[in-house]
């Protein structure tokens, strides 16, 4: 039979005037929890107190599903109370809890979580975060958009994506772990991990054997680090596993290649453990395909695939959004250019002015702006090929200047004519003895006649 012992500590911190955290230590049912309330001076306290009280009342059956259902009942109660009391409107709370339950293969430690309060497991001197924070920055970390160090100082790190009392229904995270003697569970509000590093937490949990002393020391370090929020810590130790560790050792002695148990796939980070070692530990906890209870366990490969899928999906979406923006800008630029371009061409036999590009660009077709009285035959032959293709201009002023020049050319050609002059030999007539008359030939235009001349004898 598994035996647990626990210790706890809580403090208002250095900044807050009241403590909106609540915690749960129920030895009779081996139920332990931490709730971090929010929603004004009074609302946070009410919400967190309701969460732990209702969880204690309804987590009566030692199963993971019973513990999850107790959390869902607490959520509905907080939501309904906030809706019926103006002073409590908008209140909510986180809740993280562990309980000794009966699993398919014996006793297990079940854990549940909603919000950003956390549950850690210290095993073999390695500290592993079991729960996943339901916060904006943690989602960004999981999607690869922020590093854990960036998330720790992000201005929106306190924005939650899930909490009790915010909606009528809530999704509750949960899993189970096979307990071994020496395991130590740490439950805490964000007032601890925002001020104390995971390395410091692990060091305290290794150094102080008494759970009450360990909890008090962690609270002290959080206050020393700034104490900017309420701080609540519950430490739960597996004092006796009923011989499970000895049985596991015997099995390993018979078959050294067999994996007996390991820490289940965790949501967060492991302190003082290499990534390969953590991966191996998570991998060894994969459920047996024939074990129905294994459906509650987290498959590390599924987690990895989902993480990659989230990163891939985000990158694909970002790529297509960027691509659409670029295409939109290009199309807009083309449309803008086309609307400000003119060309002179022919509309049938008439010279015409069009707005747009000759032949059109994409779906921006040219539009007839105006038709002139000048016909194709009026246009000088050397100019006709340019107008047949469409002569482009960057503004209407340039078009007007070109048309004035074109009119001048056509009008000049119409008024220019050639002048022709004809000449005939002069004729001579003799009138009387010794008198001769010479008559000049007519010219056209106008006809003229030279005067007669009499020569002296």
Over residues 234-254, the pLDDT tens digits come to 999 999 998 887 776 555 455
Which whole number is the average pLDDT over 338-360? 84
Helix ranges restricted to H, 88-210: 136-142, 148-152, 190-193, 198-207
CA separation, residue 46 to residues 71, 83, 143, 153 (Å):
16, 13, 34, 29
* pLDDT at res. 454: 41
Which whole number is the average pLDDT over 334-359? 82
* pLDDT at res. 339: 67
pLDDT of 430 strictly over 90: no
Which whole number is the average pLDDT over 115-132? 97
* pLDDT at res. 394: 80
Per-residue confidence band for 278, with pLDDT thresholds at 50, 70 and 90? very low
* pLDDT at res. 457: 37
Residue with the bigger pLDDT between 423 and 375: it is: 375
* pLDDT at res. 405: 84
What is the β-pairing status of strands 391-393 and 367-375?
A: unpaired
* pLDDT at res. 314: 65
Average pLDDT, the chain: 80
Which whole number is the average pLDDT over 144-167? 90
* pLDDT at res. 176: 98
pLDDT of 123 strictly over 60: yes
Which residues does 310 contact at the CB level (< 8 Å), separation at least 6?
A: 142, 143
Residue with the bigger pLDDT between 184 and 348: it is: 184
CA separation, residue 76 to residues 2, 35, 44, 49, 131 (Å):
33, 16, 16, 14, 22
The alpha carbon of 22 is separated from its chain's Cα centroid by a whole number of angstroms, namely: 35
Q: Is the distance from CB of 136 to CB of 156 less than 8 angstroms?
A: yes
Which whole number is the average pLDDT over 443-449? 48
Which secondary-structure segment (H or E) carries 106? strand 106-114
Go through the domains of the chain in sequence order and give each one's CATH number: 3-298 (3.60.40.10), 340-414 (no CATH)
Sign of CA dihedral 245, 246, 251, 254: positive
* pLDDT at res. 205: 98
Distance in angstroms (rounded) separating the CA atoms of residues 61 and 45: 27
For a pLDDT cut of 90, what percent of the chain falls above it? 48
* pLDDT at res. 234: 99
Which whole number is the average pLDDT over 127-136? 96
* pLDDT at res. 250: 58
Distance in angstroms (rounded) separating the CA atoms of residues 57 and 36: 19
Burial 335-361 (b: 16+ CB within 10 A, else e): eeebeebbbbbbeeeebbbbbbbbeeb
Which whole number is the average pLDDT over 151-157? 85
Which whole number is the average pLDDT over 205-214? 98
Global pTM reads 0.58
pLDDT of 433 strictly over 50: no
């Amino acid at each position: 039979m598994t035996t647990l012992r626990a210790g706890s500590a809580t403090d208002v911190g250095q900044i807050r005037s009241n403590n909106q955290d609540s915690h749960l230590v129920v030895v009779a049912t081996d139920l332990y929890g931490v709730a971090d309330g929010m929603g004004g001076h009074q609302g946070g306290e009410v919400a967190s107190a309701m969460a732990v009280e209702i969880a204690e009342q309804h987590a009566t059956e030692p199963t993971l599903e019973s513990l999850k259902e107790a959390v869902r009942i607490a959520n509905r109660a907080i939501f309904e109370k906030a809706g019926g009391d103006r002073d409590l409107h908008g209140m909510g709370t986180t809740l993280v809890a562990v309980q000794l339950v009966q699993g398919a293969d014996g006793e297990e430690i079940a854990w549940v979580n909603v919000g950003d309060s956390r549950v850690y497991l210290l095993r073999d001197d390695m500290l592993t975060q079991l729960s996943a924070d339901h916060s904006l920055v943690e989602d960004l970390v999981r999607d690869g958009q922020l590093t854990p160090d960036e998330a720790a100082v992000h201005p929106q790190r306190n924005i939650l994506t899930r909490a009790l009392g915010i909606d009528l229904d809530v999704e509750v995270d949960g899993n189970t772990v096979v307990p071994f003697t020496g395991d130590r569970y740490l439950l805490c509000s964000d007032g601890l991990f925002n001020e104390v590093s995971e390395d410091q937490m692990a060091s305290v949990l290794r150094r102080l054997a008494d759970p009450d002393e360990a909890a008090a020391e962690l609270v002290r370090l959080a206050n020393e680090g700034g104490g900017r929020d309420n701080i609540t810590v519950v430490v739960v130790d597996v004092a006796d596993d009923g011989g499970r560790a000895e049985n596991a050792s015997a099995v390993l002695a018979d078959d050294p290649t067999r994996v007996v148990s390991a820490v289940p796939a965790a949501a967060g980070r492991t302190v003082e453990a290499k990534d390969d070692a953590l991966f191996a530990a998570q991998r060894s906890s994969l459920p047996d395909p024939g074990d129905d209870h294994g459906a509650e366990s987290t498959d590390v490969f599924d987690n990895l695939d989902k993480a990659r899928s989230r990163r891939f999906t985000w990158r694909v979406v970002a790529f297509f959004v960027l691509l659409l923006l670029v295409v939109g800008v290009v199309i807009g630029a083309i449309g803008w250019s086309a609307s400000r371009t003119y060309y002179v061409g022919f509309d049938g036999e008439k010279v015409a002015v069009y707005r747009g590009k000759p032949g059109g660009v994409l779906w921006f077709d040219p539009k007839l702006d105006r038709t002139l009285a000048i016909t194709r035959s009026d246009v000088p032959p050397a100019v006709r090929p340019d107008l047949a293709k469409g002569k482009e201009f960057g503004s209407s002023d340039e078009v007007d200047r070109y048309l004035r020049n074109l009119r001048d050319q056509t009008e000049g050609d119409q008024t220019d004519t050639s002048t022709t002059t004809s000449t005939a030999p002069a004729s001579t007539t003799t009138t009387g003895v010794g008198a001769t008359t010479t008559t000049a030939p007519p010219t056209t235009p106008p006809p003229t006649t030279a005067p007669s001349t009499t020569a002296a004898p």
